Amino acid sequence: MNAVAVLAIDPNIGRLRGFVTDLADLVENAADEAEILEKGGALLARLVSSDDWLPDAFARPNPDRYQQYLLHCDSRERFSVVSFVWGPGQGTPIHDHRVWGLVGVLRGAERVEHFRRGADGRLEQVGPVGDLFECEVEAISPAAGDIHRVANGLADAPSISIHVYGGNIGAVERATYDLDGTAKRFISGYANKVVPNLWDRSSAA
């Protein structure tokens, strides 16, 4: 990952710094994935309950496709934090993750369809289509099934969600799927070449 830190000018960027620090402690000391998802979900819920910390550069929609902006990657790639910015009508193909994940909605809404592979190898939808709204958090785990499709839940405005994954998600080899179960390999990368500077506290001096 060739990312260069950019000076964060948002005075509330400390919220993200605190989240990253607390999550690193949790990942280091948790007994298992279930504890990470439970306690990490509470940390993420607290982060997305305030909408005053995400720098504008990582909240910009693109008219052509949704954007995945890297906000932080752990130095050992144990977890990453990204902002997903969805323009009206934008969404993902059906895809998997292959690592644990947490999703919290910061602005707007996120529409989610869950899938599983049937006995014939085809994908079948699990449960109804659901919406996540502002401040709500959902957990993802390969152990419980992590194949889904996501889209902006608003038809006329952008939405932003904060995703946390148990790895450097932009470098994880994953797959998209057709409904017949055919898989296509992909590595997502990131939309940005710079990341927020979480560590400069000079403005608070």
Residue 201 lies in a domain: no
* Position 46, amino acid: R
Least confident of 3-17, 61-75, 132-146: 3-17
- The CATH number that applies at residue 95 is 2.60.120.10
For every residue of 148-178, DSSP letters joined together read EEEEES-SSS-EEEEEEESS-GGGS-EEEE-
Total domain count for the chain?
Answer: 1
Contact between 109 and 131 under an 8 Å Cβ cutoff? The reply is yes
- The model's pTM is 0.92
Residue 203 lies in a domain: no
For the stretch 87-117, pLDDT in tens is 999 999 999 999 999 999 999 999 999 999 9
How high does pLDDT run on average in the chain? 93
Domain ranges, residue 38: 4-194
